[in-house]
Structure 1
């Protein structure tokens, strides 16, 4: 079987998982969807994705549950059942292991610590300054541009993971992962949101035919370091646009917002996930 055939089979499984998070996602079910032998399917998936199918399903269900805790007033028991848990106690223990806090505490809006870390983002900059302001750490930096091998996504931003899976399958997981977000989720219907998931591609790298080339242009950026679950990132965006930008003396450039992911969600607990949010500046 050719490499592109393997990728199509993996794409089918990824799409099925996202579309059927409330359904039976057993190894047997996903093996049938994949078209691979049930004796080999799980080894293939784990080798390519870096996690088992059970870990993928559990991670995605918990991510959706975290979003529900913030976006709805549903009781924790109802969210637990929606996430596939038999009860709120089992759900709370699993949520605590992944998010470092209980569902109830997470719902109240406790913000992860925003202390900076020694991690560095992709791309190199020529000048940098750190603005000491309350909130999340922000630095203004001149950055070199770079190209992406990307998969375009239409729909809820929390579902962009399926596009990232396609990119990783084709390009490998060694290069930094980056997303471009075209629309404001507070202003555009969820089904119409446009984004692109990509990985940094060297100038001489050929972009696979079923991916697209996107560019992160050179220029000045306000770079906000965010540490914590993706489902809680909305508050950081509100602070960046509502507090930092009006008081910074800066003006945004006509280019979408960019996120650079410095940790892998398959191996990093959500509470320790590190993301740089890049706001293009004039």
Structure 2
């Protein structure tokens, strides 16, 4: 594998710092000078370098993250749409509605009322209306992951993946075989949001080391129950509920002592949320 020049690897670490700044200031409209200072770049060149390593502009990163958080807020809370719009950085409900519809295909109120793009209903309430999933029991290979830990609501882990993406690009670590993996230790229905533990990761090529500040995590080979989900990440929790409440008790299997994982199969920056594909991986004994 060809190593990237040291300067580009340094650029990746600095862009990662700018992304971390964005994550630490979710309610603020970022100014070019602040982001450039966080990355120690001249404002004249920051945008070009950021786009080179992130695959999108800072404004696109912010909009994608905020709209995903808005989708989660619409599904998981009763916060008024106007307050969700304000938290997402929009000056009016009309502007928020236009942006949300363009991204998710539905206006915010309809998205909430419908329960998402592809809502999951409890099987016991009305079996004919239940969205069923294909679950496959299969081996999962051992992986060496470069990870960034995350503590807090699972819906905010996207920022860690964005940082990892910049680091992977700057160190020439992403290949056609790269797997982007999320690790999730806790149940968001029982653990306070601020205490939820997770990690964003990507699989390392053989012999490669994780780029700082990412660290190495070894995931052993195991058997998993794999549920394929197509749709926004904000809607994954309903699929987890179905997997644990409906599939697992009827399967005759028991979960192993390892966190649940998510394998993200396509690029959320290049596709609308309705096309995002995720494998939920439940480790089994």
Asked if residue 141 in structure 1 is aligned to residue 138 in structure 2, the reply is yes
| Cα distance, 1:162 vs structure 2 | 2.6
CA distance in 1, matches of 2:211, 2:88: 35
Q: Secondary structure, in 3 states, of the residue corresponding to 1:187?
A: coil
CA distance in 2, matches of 1:158, 1:211: 20
Q: Which residue of 2 aligns with 1:126?
A: none
CA distance in 2, matches of 1:83, 1:98: 14
What is the correspondence of 1:35-50 to structure 2 with a 5 Å cutoff? Answer: 35-50=40-55
Q: Which residue of 1 aligns with 2:69?
A: 64
Deviations 1:147-189 (A, max 9, x none): 2111222222122223223322222344221111111122222
Q: Which residue of 2 aligns with 1:119?
A: none
Q: Which residue of 1 aligns with 2:195?
A: 192
Q: Which residue of 2 aligns with 1:74?
A: 79
Equivalent pair of 1:229/1:270 in contact (CA under 8 Å): yes
Q: Secondary structure, in 3 states, of the residue corresponding to 1:206?
A: coil
CA distance in 2, matches of 1:158, 1:74: 16
| Cα distance, 1:90 vs structure 2 | 1.8
Q: Where do 4+ consecutive residues of structure 1 move more than 6 Å?
A: none
In the alignment, structure 1 segments of 5+ residues that lack a partner are 115-132
Decide which moves more: 260-269 or 8-17.
8-17
TM-score (norm 2): 0.85
| Cα distance, 1:275 vs structure 2 | 0.4
Higher relative contact order (CA 8 A, sep 6+): 2
| Cα distance, 1:44 vs structure 2 | 0.3
Counting matched residue pairs gives 264
Q: 2:90 aligns with which of 85, 91, 100?
A: 85
Q: Which residue of 1 aligns with 2:156?
A: 159
| 1:209–1:52 distance in 2 versus 1, CA, 3 Å | closer
Asked if residue 104 in structure 1 is aligned to residue 109 in structure 2, the reply is yes
Equivalent pair of 2:228/2:280 in contact (CA under 8 Å): yes
